[in-house]
Homo-oligomer: A and B are copies of this chain.
Amino acid sequence: MTLMIHPVSGIPEITQGIDLGTLIGDACSSSEFGLTNGDVLVVTQKIVSKAEGAMVEIDQNDPLSHKPIVEREAVRILRRRGDLIITETKHGFVCANAGIDLSNVARGQAALLPEDSDRSARRIVERIRHNYGVSVGVIISDTFGRPWRRGVTDVAIGCAGVAAVVDLRGTEDALGRELMVTEVCVADELAAAADLVCGKAEGIPVALVRGVDSQWLRESSIQDEVVRSPSEDLFR
């Protein structure tokens, strides 16, 4: 089945307290592609942080003024090189600078990660169901680097209504043989796919993915399904 990924335009600058679910639902409904059962909305972290007020003041004349906040937000520092700090956040994410971000926010401000991105996703799912009677999945995405490979990619930091990890262990491969792996992190793949249309600089904070396997539509959580504890991680 063909997958379609639509950038959702028409979303205004986000302020604290705004009802993100209604805003996104309205933007989709008034678009040419609309909103239908089984759609998955990928929402970039920045607008979630803004709507939830997860922002802090920084000194706009000091390019390193957010660094003390990084130290405060991190529960563990994994590596340092120059200004780069690789952290583990309280959510269990491993990323640069505790996920604190200065791009696409007003000068003198920095965006923190949302308190609980699974909950943020769930609220959008519920609001859209309430307003439109439509069941969608929602993924909150953020841009992370990774070891071994250059370049950043978007990953899922929260989700609701669409699986984070799909377990294909035990299903047969095309030659009738049992597959040995394979737990696929479809939430990260959906976040990555969405970034291809959102870009970094274009002010498109949401993408709508249509055509997702209906078996993936279920209750879900990045915290429970994706975040690996240090004890099961071979690189911490």
Chain A residues proximal to chain B, CB less than 8 Å: 1-7, 33, 78-79, 81, 84, 86, 93-94, 102-107, 143, 146-155, 164-165, 168, 171-175, 177, 179-186, 188-190, 192-193, 195-197, 199-203, 211-213, 225-228, 233-236
Contact = CB atoms under 8 A, between A and B. Distances in A.
Contact of A185 (B153, B165, B225): B153
B94 A148 contact: yes
A200 B172 contact: no
A109 B232 CA distance: 31
A234 B4 contact: no
Give 3 nearest A-B pairs by CB, closest first: A151-B185, A174-B203, A193-B193
Q: Which residue, A6, A106, A147, A168, has most C-beta atoms of chain B within 10 A?
A: A147
B172 A150 contact: no
A195 B216 CA distance: 14
B103 A177 contact: yes
A205 to B, nearest CB: 9
